[in-house]
Amino acid sequence: MSYNSKKTVVSMATGILLAVIYIIYALGDRAPAPDDVKAWAVAMLIFIGIGVTAMIVIMVLFHIAFAIGIAVKENDCDDKEVERIVKSSMVEDERDKLIERKSTHIEHTFVGMGLIAALIALACAMSIVAAVHIMLGATIGGMLIGGCQNIYYHERGV
Amino acid sequence: MSKKPADKKIIITNKIRTLRFFANEMTQLELAEKAGASRQTIMALEAYKYTPSLELAFRIADVFGVPIGEVFEYIKKEENKNA
């Protein structure tokens, strides 16, 4: 598995973990009342903040682990050679940009569909909180689908 | 009736592996560094899983010091629409 695929897997795993934690919170006793839009908005903002911070920390740890993994794998090479391999693996070239563009496209499509679903939910007299959760779900779903496509293109070719 | 260009599928092949061999067994990593691409891209090119941009194709040809036509070639394949 290439560096980009591993990075995407770690990113997706972090996203899934955060989504599970949020679902546990949302279904638990500490969750705000179903009609308390302000409290839900605050809770979501806090989770987004935690998510961004967690993603940065996990990515830093991933890069350290990746470099150690290469150093262990290439134990007959010197430090400069290992550094060279690590740097080369992290180069983002035209193929990576093309894959990123394609996976982002499907991600945006999914999020757009979520927005429409949320509007339909509102039109069907569902609560604002439900509509916001549909959009949140679509964003997470879009991220996962985009990630899967990213891995597919990196491993199977674009 | 003559076929439109869109009706012909173009398959682009390359001789990067052979050229690397004749370039003193140049590694994929060396070629990637010289051509300004990642090693994964060179691997994908050699496996015919990726068609490079014209710019990268020229850069790869430049690394080997040969014209682009000696590295890449395309094969026109007629698509049978009735099949």
With beta carbons less than 8 A apart as the criterion, state whether B71 and B60 touch. Answer: yes
| pLDDT score recorded for residue B3 | 53
Distance to chain B for A157, nearest Cα, Å: 5
Residues on chain B bordering chain A, Cβ-to-Cβ distance under 8 angstroms: 29, 32-33, 36-41, 44, 47-50, 52-53, 55-56
The verdict on ipTM greater than 0.90 is no
Cα–Cα distance, A41 to A35 (Å, whole number): 11
With beta carbons less than 8 A apart as the criterion, state whether B12 and B51 touch. Answer: yes
CB contact under 8 A, B36 and A93: yes
Residues of A with CB below 8 A from B52's CB?
94-95
- Contacts for A32 with CB less than 8 Å, ≥ 6 apart: A39, A40, A43
pLDDT tens digits along A90-100:
888 999 999 99
| DSSP letter for each residue of B9-67 | EEEEEE-HHHHHHHTTS--HHHHHHHHT--HHHHHHHHTT-----HHHHHHHHHHHTS-
| pLDDT score recorded for residue B70 | 93
Question: pTM (2 decimals)?
Answer: 0.80
Show pLDDT as tens, one digit a residue, over chain B (83 residues): 555 555 667 788 999 999 999 999 999 989 999 999 988 899 999 998 899 999 999 999 999 999 999 999 988 776 655 54
Average pLDDT, chain A: 90
With beta carbons less than 8 A apart as the criterion, state whether A107 and A115 touch. Answer: no
| pLDDT score recorded for residue A50 | 93
pLDDT tens digits along A102-113:
999 999 999 999
Q: Is B81 helix (H, G, I), strand (E, B) or coil?
A: coil
| Residue A80 predicted with pLDDT over 50 | yes
pLDDT tens digits along A20-54:
999 999 998 888 888 888 999 999 999 999 999 99
